[in-house]
Amino acid sequence: MPADFQAKLDELLRLPAETEWVEFKHNNENPQEIGEYISAISNGAALHGKRTGYLVWGIDDGTHAVLGTKFRPKLAKKGNEHLESWLLHQLNPRIDFTIHEFERNGAPVVLFAVQAANSTPVRFSGEAYIRVGSYKKKLKDFPEKERRLWQILSASPEDWSAQVIEGATLADLDPDALAFARVQYRQKHPQQAAEIDGWDDATLLNKTKVCVGGRVTRTALLLLGKPESSHLLSPAQAQITWVLRDEKKQEKDYQHFELPLILAGDKVLQKIRNLTIRQLPSGTLFPHEVTQYDPWVMRETLHNCVAHQDYTMGGRINAVETPDTLLFTNLGSFIPGTVEEMIRSDAPPEIYRNPFLAHAMVNLNMIDTIGSGIKRMFTRQRERSFPMPDYELDDPIKVAVRLTGQVLDENYTQLLLSQTELDLMDVMALDKVQKNRPIDEGSFKRLKARKLISGRRPNLFVSAKIAAATGDKAAYIKNRAFDKQHYEDMVVAYLEKFGEATRADLDELLLEKLSDALDGKQKRRFISNLLQEMKKDGRLVPDGVSRWARWRLTKPASGAKDSRRF
């Protein structure tokens, strides 16, 4: 064993405890566990600015005493495949790790030197891991660490989109795409129109910052490449898929769109059935016609997917159309954190996943100036009196943006968007309320103080103030929840009369009287919570468990009748 690895082991043993980039093991030979630890160590090393992390067998993780190990990784197999080869196939993106077997004081020791993540979090079998203290955890369960890791990786010089493709030439680029790029660059820079017409293709590509010194980058091939040249981007899958689904979410049609992506976007949008609908503006009897979706918003959303896709994950960009919505998805976390944070800051984000690609797309007029496109999308939807775009960010490795192609509540929406004193953040929060989606504490307090919303979280509704102004009082009364005390009084009155009640009796009593804004499951949960609170307060007592319990008042009223007689 080379002396430098003996010295490295000495260095690791001097650490006061395990770190997020060093793990000590004794005899753990489980291949799946080893792969997960490689992912965790690689990501942990990147978080702590280390080029390499280490996984060491034969060491006690508490005392750092050298115990020796029976693990022999170079002889181990997973099925019929050698362990090392199997581990490499399960890692995405591929990273280097080297295996070193040697002895310390006559005891066998195994050391894995693991390359730090350098462009995207390292996943094993499709899942990224991280170490928290001395424990291995899924990265997605620690969003702050995940966001910080993305910030570190995105800020590194390893910009996937900027890398030159060895062997690729200008002959791999599509002539129609090049011609379209010239038109788009001229529109973006009209002051240079005369000069642009005199450039050859190589000069155009350098000026638009798609190529570097005439050399073809991944960005150049993504945006301008011929379909038959897509293999040069492997394992990235440079493809946009359009899917059409009906009201029952059954797939009716689909189509894949290949390189060049500068032309694919418009082809996708041509497939979308952007129907014309009629609106009747407040104060007039003359309707006007609008399309379900703003073409600029659709285009910006789709091209944002192209700009921010994590191409190392090998997936497609999707555009899924239903009768009333469009859903655009791309792989990779939403680096800014939340849409609200991005709009509130009103400034370009500090970090991008594909900065070279994003800047090239701005130059080619494919996306708005970096950092302002999302805010402009929300503003345009507001101007159209349509629902705001929904950024669905629950999946830590995917961004989904849903556009709604119908007015959910015409009177409500028109009034909401006509209030000039409301800023965009308030409009976004009120939009969530009308969609029965949760809002943050700050928005809740602000809207509640201005009497723009009513109800109790999570069941918030349009307030009476707005309903009265829109003439939608009937809908307000229908959706408004009575005060909880009202339902408690109904339960008490029932039990005073009949003595006891099953859960089915109480459901029959209350379900039809609860707010129509609640679905059946929410209504039953409300009743369950109501009964449990009354039990906790000492007003009710159940005889039995679950749905078979018979509920009674703690102090039955005199003359109460037995419900079993009825």
- Given this model, what pLDDT does residue 313 score? 83
Q: Are 43 and 86 in contact (CB under 8 A)?
A: no
The arithmetic mean of pLDDT across residues 258-268, rounded, is 97
CA dihedral 511, 513, 514, 520 (to 10 degrees): 30
- Given this model, what pLDDT does residue 68 score? 94
CATH of the domain at 391: 3.30.565.60
Q: How far is CA 550 from CA 72, 494, 500, 528, 530, in A?
A: 64, 13, 6, 13, 15
Q: Which of 157, 190, 218 is the last residue of a domain?
A: 157
Q: Which of 119, 142, 157 is the last residue of a domain?
A: 157
- Is the pLDDT score of 556 beyond 70? no
Q: Given pLDDT bands bounded at 50, 70 and 90, which one contains residue 1? A: very low
**Residues 253 and 368 occupy one common structural domain:** yes
CATH of the domain at 15: 3.30.950
- Given this model, what pLDDT does residue 3 score? 59
- Is the pLDDT score of 508 beyond 60? yes
pLDDT digits (tens, 9 = 90+) for 431-463: 888 888 888 888 898 888 887 787 778 778 766
The arithmetic mean of pLDDT across residues 408-420, rounded, is 59
Q: Are 147 and 333 in contact (CB under 8 A)?
A: yes
Element counts in the chain: helices (H) and strands (E): 21, 23
**Residues 350 and 223 occupy one common structural domain:** no
pLDDT digits (tens, 9 = 90+) for 361-378: 999 999 986 667 899 999
The arithmetic mean of pLDDT across residues 318-335, rounded, is 93
Q: Is 474 a member of any domain? A: no
Q: Is 153 a member of any domain? A: yes
- Given this model, what pLDDT does residue 565 score? 32
Q: Is 442 a member of any domain? A: no
**Residues 295 and 387 occupy one common structural domain:** yes
- Given this model, what pLDDT does residue 118 score? 85
Q: Which of 415, 431, 447 is the last residue of a domain?
A: 431
pLDDT digits (tens, 9 = 90+) for 23-38: 999 888 899 999 999 9
The arithmetic mean of pLDDT across residues 528-556, rounded, is 84
Enter the tokens of residue 184.
Answer: 């788009």
pTM tops 0.85, yes or no: no
- Tell me how many domains the chain contains: 4
**Residues 416 and 299 occupy one common structural domain:** yes
**Strand blocks (E) in 31-116:** 52-57, 77-78, 81-82, 91-92, 97-104, 107-115
DSSP notation for 75-96:
T-EETTEEHHHHHHHHEES---
Q: Is 52 a member of any domain? A: yes
The arithmetic mean of pLDDT across residues 334-354, rounded, is 75
Percent of the chain with pLDDT over 70: 86
Q: Given pLDDT bands bounded at 50, 70 and 90, which one contains residue 472? A: low
**Residues 129 and 167 occupy one common structural domain:** no
Q: Given pLDDT bands bounded at 50, 70 and 90, which one contains residue 172? A: very high
The arithmetic mean of pLDDT across residues 130-157, rounded, is 83
Provide the residue range defining the domain that includes 532. Answer: 484-565
- Given this model, what pLDDT does residue 468 score? 57
